[in-house]
Structure 1
Amino acid sequence: MSITSERAALHQFRQPTFTELYLPKLVTVWREGYGLADFRADLFAGLTVAIVALPLSMAIAIASGVTPDRGLYTAVVGGFIVSLLGGSRFQIGGPAGAFIVLVAVTAERHGVDGVILATMMAGLFLIAAGFLRIGTYIKFIPYPVTVGFTAGIAVIIFASQLRDLGGITLSAKEPSEFIPKLVALAGGLHTVNPSAVAIAALSILVIAALRRWRPSWPGILIAVVLAAVVTSALSLPVETIGTRFGGIPRELPSPALPVFSLEKAKAVLPDAIAFALLAAIESLLSAVVADGMTGRRHRSNCELVAQGVANIGSALFGGICVTGLIARTATNIRAGAMGPLAGMLHSVFLLLFMLVAAPLASYIPLAALAAVLVVVAWTMAEKQEFATLLRSSWGDAVVLLATFLLTVFRDLTEGILVGFALGAVLFIHRMAEMTGIEERSPLVVADRPDDGNGERVPYDPALAVDRDVLVYRITGAFFFGAASAIGSVLDGVTDGRKAFVVDFAAVPFLDSTAANVLGRVAAKAHRQGIRLFVTGASPAVRRALLTHGVSPPRARYRATIERAVADIKGAPAASVSVADDAG
């Protein structure tokens, strides 16, 4: 191997430095060279994303049970910090539709102060997760789980907008649970407002038409503006942001710490954990999508730290949860963004919109914002992926449906955790099926196909070197999922055998459970006077076995089966391998 290739190999396997893990992509972009043309591209991309984010931020906030201005605070402050400190070049941060359920439930239980406190606590959890390098492992969440909870969120978002879509009036507070919500809305069908239905239908039609024939136009903003103009011009009896919330402020509030007490912190702790978990998943999924679109690579742990700081910043200004947004990030990339400055400019443009056009927001009908979220729910439902997973295998279908149904009818966090657990069990089951043990293999020097067609001749027991010697070959990962089955085979060693050999040449990994099983087998064989030889073990596998008592005099290590058999029979061997134990 040349010196250059050796250095490349060392670089590949060395531990990354702190700077390599946590340096914001903004700094990386500046180091690579950033010119006027790049700035113009980011300026246009930031404006494009801001136009999309303006109505969405307000709609998500309203659906989450808080005022629309808090959605704008989240996009302005949180979005700016995500791009400033993040580990992705193109990530756009802000309020997400996926948080509607969690934020609405938290607001109902603990009030807006509880939401803000939970958001700040979630930020601290995300920072801790980033510095503990947990971001590396969040990507291992099974695909059926992400599709299941995303589809479940889409269903809940759709149900949450039915009231404003139809202008339905309820005599009591709208329930947050799925089935009671539908029952209450069904009881209020006689109060449906035809004007609200017409505005919602117009908004959906405009968005759908522009997406098909003019995809480069800001369809959501055009639909909302058109709905506001029609509502105002015709004096339609439709509820607007002004009639329900009194409009939105024209400036950012002064930063302030949320109301804190130990009892309040304990009460919102489960919500804060749920916020942090979902923010981590959503932001890293968005970063992965951006990598796929651009060929770049994000820094996952840096991204988590940025998301944590962004959530703390959002909470200080009265905002709600921040995360990376797949749709807006994709819009940012398609608009030609060159780096994180586009995301920062998107937040600046949103702030300018607040300062200049805040009074006009009062005329926006809530039915139009509900229509926007219905379109968002339809888009995020991943219908094709859902159907594909249902057909792929029974295991994936079970994980998908469990996650989906628990998300809709129980709780989002419960759905994710149960789905992940089922996915892990399914993985263990599949890995255990792939792990096997082969008994009484022919002990020949060249164990290979020996006929003209390349097919192995059926095994003949007479080929065994010694009927007093058993040979076991374990293939695949030897871990707790397969330890019981393989352990029962190895534990069946009977009196009268001189020795037996366990070959680990095809075992890439061995965990403590499997090592402990072999340790018990070695102890039993030693008590019965049967010699145990371990062959082909890699250094890592050998260390694990030695730790659990698979060591002399209970067991001997040899490099190959042939070497072990030679020792058993007392035949001379050419030389002692470095893999052989001393003595």
Structure 2
Amino acid sequence: MLSSVREQWFSNIRGDLLAGLVVGLALIPEAIAFSIIAGVDPKVGLYASFCIAVVISFFGGRQAMISAATGAMALLMATLVREHGLEYLLAATILTGVIQILAGYLKLAKLMRFVSKSVVTGFVNALAILIFMAQIPELLNVTWHVYAFVSLGLAIIYLFPLLPRLGKILPSPLVCIIVITLLSVVIGVDVRTVGDMGSLPDTLPIFLIPNIPINIETLFIILPYSFALAAVGLLESMMTATIIDEMTNTPSDKYRECKGQGIANITSGFMGGMAGCAMIGQSMINVKSGGLTRLSTFSAGIFLLVLVVFISDWLSVIPMAALVAVMIMVSISTFNWNSIIHLKKNPKSSSIVMFSTVLVVVATHNLALGVLTGVLLSALFLANKLENDIKVSMSYEGAARLYNLKGQIFFSSSDSFFNFFDFEENVNEVIIDLTQSHIWDITSVAMLDSVVNKFEKNGTTVTVRGLNEASSIMIDKYSTRVRTE
């Protein structure tokens, strides 16, 4: 027990604390921006990011993954806030958490098995593009100083790690933020800062119960939003966990993560915060800055709160250009460049799925819709491939006509199999050999029943053989015509 706690919390203390500080700094402008998108006071997003990061560090199923207020969630709650106000948002956030906990116990994370590698790649590339696009407003209609700071910041981020000793001690994103801030203060350049994003809270969050009527009408108002928030939050969290799994070559507990997200959102709602989920950008910053354990996620939340509440005067002078440089680095490192380099080698269907996922996510800013598009296309391509792989060979076994079926028999391929049979041939007996086939659904059974029925109407005896155990169960349960041997 103690060894597990030590490994999950205290095996990388220096790296985790420094990474947490970098993430805490980067979370602040994003939390403020997401609050603005949702139509609430900046402190709602900041409190949410603090609460969710701290709680998920204890209850989450993926070490070193950062969860906080996110843009995808903020977009979903804007209408609720506009029509009903903040109190209803807090209630919806709590209900979102309850739904996510139920999803964890129901093990709905299994649905991730239907998300192909091409969809995950498209998801990652789309997020990289969105992260970069989110920085563009900070680079428009600005003075040359901003471009100089961003360029210098990127140079520090990529060159500092090359230094023999210091490069391994301090994370380059943190060095970037410190150097750019000091340079800005010393020179006295008038550039946009974190303080210009909105007012920062000066008090700690407190426990509160949403002031709303507790009745069926209220439930019907918040339930659709809560379901949408829970679905998008879990989808983004599961996708991010999968990506961090691959980056760190370590496993995660997706069921625990679902429950952890729920507990975190319930806590956020009772502490005056909005709903949130895992953040791929901040998680990438954390891992690339040296964060490996739960301590990095915990310290990110704690640093965020300390920074905004106790040293907001210092924090407010950080140029946005420094954070833009960090986020551009995240965008570049997040994008799966191999998916472009190996485009000609990859199957066309995989590339179409990947590009479709990217296009839908970037066009709609709706991660769930993009992933759903990718999953549906993957299913269609798979069905088409299985349908094209079917083969039927015909021969004689004595006086009987033998049909040897090869391939997967399911709703999409049933018609193709049916068309292979010659019902006009003058034979007394037909044998259908399914040794190299598998029957998947009721549609397939119905197809075989139709084949048998049509042959028998012509006076031909039909025998089906070679069924595997699963196919036999389907035939025995649903067929009305098939005789097996």
TM superposition score normalised by structure 2: 0.83
Superposed, 1:160-199 pairs within 5 Å as 160-166=134-140, 168=141, 192-199=142-149
The answer for the alignment partner of 2:420 in structure 1 is 489
**SS in structure 1 at match of 2:440:** coil
What does residue 220 of structure 1 align with?
A: 173
Report deviation, 1:275: 4.1
Partner of 1:556: 483
Q: Report the Cα distance in structure 2 between the residues aligned to 1:256 and 1:383, rounded to whole angstroms.
A: 47
Q: Supply the RMSD in Å over aligned alpha carbons.
A: 3.5
Aligned residue number for residue 361 of structure 1: 315
Distance 1:532 1:406 in 2: 50
Select which of 390, 395, 407 maps to 1:476. 407
Partner of residue 140, structure 1: 114
Cα distance, 1:200–1:117 mapped onto 2, change above 3 Å: farther
**Secondary structure at the residue paired with 2:392?**
strand
Partner of 2:67: 94
Q: Offset of 1:487 from its aligned partner?
A: 1.6
Contact (CA 8 Å) 1:87, 1:298: kept in 2 or not? yes
Cα gap change, 1:287 to 1:408, in 2 (>3 Å): closer
Aligned ranges 1:42-441 → 2 under 5 Å:
42-66=12-36, 69-70=43-44, 72-88=46-62, 90-95=63-68, 99-100=70-71, 103-104=74-75, 106-107=77-78, 110-111=81-82, 113=86, 119-166=93-140, 168=141, 192-213=142-163, 214=167, 217-249=170-202, 251-257=204-210, 272-273=226-227, 275-292=229-246, 296-317=250-271, 318-323=273-278, 325=280, 328=283, 331=286, 335=290, 337=292, 340=294, 343-344=297-298, 346-354=300-308, 356-389=310-343, 391-412=345-366, 413-440=368-395
Unaligned ranges ≥5, structure 2: none
Instruction: Tell me, in whole angstroms, the C-alpha distance in 1 between the residues paired with 2:265 and 2:133.
Output: 27
8 Å CA contact 1:101–1:157 kept in 2: the answer is no
CA deviations 1:219-261 (Å, max 9, x no partner) are 2222222222222222222222224423443523434438689
Question: Contact 2:20–2:298 (CA<8 Å) still a contact in 1?
Answer: no
Q: Is the 8 A contact 1:476 1:507 kept in 2?
A: yes
For structure 1, list consecutive stretches of 5 or more residues without a partner in the other structure.
Answer: 1-29, 169-191, 441-463, 559-583
Q: How many residues align?
A: 472
**SS in structure 1 of the partner of residue 236 of structure 2:** helix
Question: In the alignment, what sits opposite 1:41?
Answer: 11
Q: Letter of the aligned partner of 1:483 in structure 2?
A: S
Aligned-residue sequence identity (percent) comes to 21
Q: Quick check: 1:466 aligned with 2:436?
A: no
Name the CA distance, whole Å, in 2 between partners of 1:228 and 1:333. Answer: 21
Relative distance call for 1:264 and 1:324 in structure 2 (3 A) is same
- Note closer, same or farther for the CA distance 1:145–1:268 as it changes in structure 2 (3 Å cut): farther
Report which of the two structures shows the higher radius of gyration computed on alpha carbons.
1
Distance 1:128 1:104 in 2: 24
Q: Identify if the C-alpha distance between structure 1 residues 124 and 37 changes in structure 2 by more than 3 Å, giving closer, same or farther.
A: closer
Aligned residue type for 1:556: R
- Cα deviation for residue 384 of structure 1 reads 2.6
How many angstroms does 1:517 deviate by? 0.8
**Residue 519 (1) aligns with residue 474 (2):** no
Please tell me whether the aligned partners of residues 234 and 277 of structure 2 are also in contact (alpha carbons under 8 angstroms): no
CA distance in structure 1 between the partners assigned to 2:256 and 2:116 by the alignment: 22
Return closer, same or farther for 1:404/1:476 CA change in 2, 3 Å cut-off: same
Q: Which has the higher contact order (CA 8 A, sep 6+)?
A: 2
Please give the alpha-carbon distance, in whole angstroms, between the structure 1 residues aligned to 2:288 and 2:361.
Answer: 31
Counterpart Cα distance in 2 of 1:483 and 1:203? 60
Cα distance 1:330–1:498, how it changes in 2: closer, same or farther (>3 A)? farther
Query: Aligned partners of 1:296 and 1:239: how far apart in 2?
Result: 39
CA distance in 2, matches of 1:326, 1:196: 22
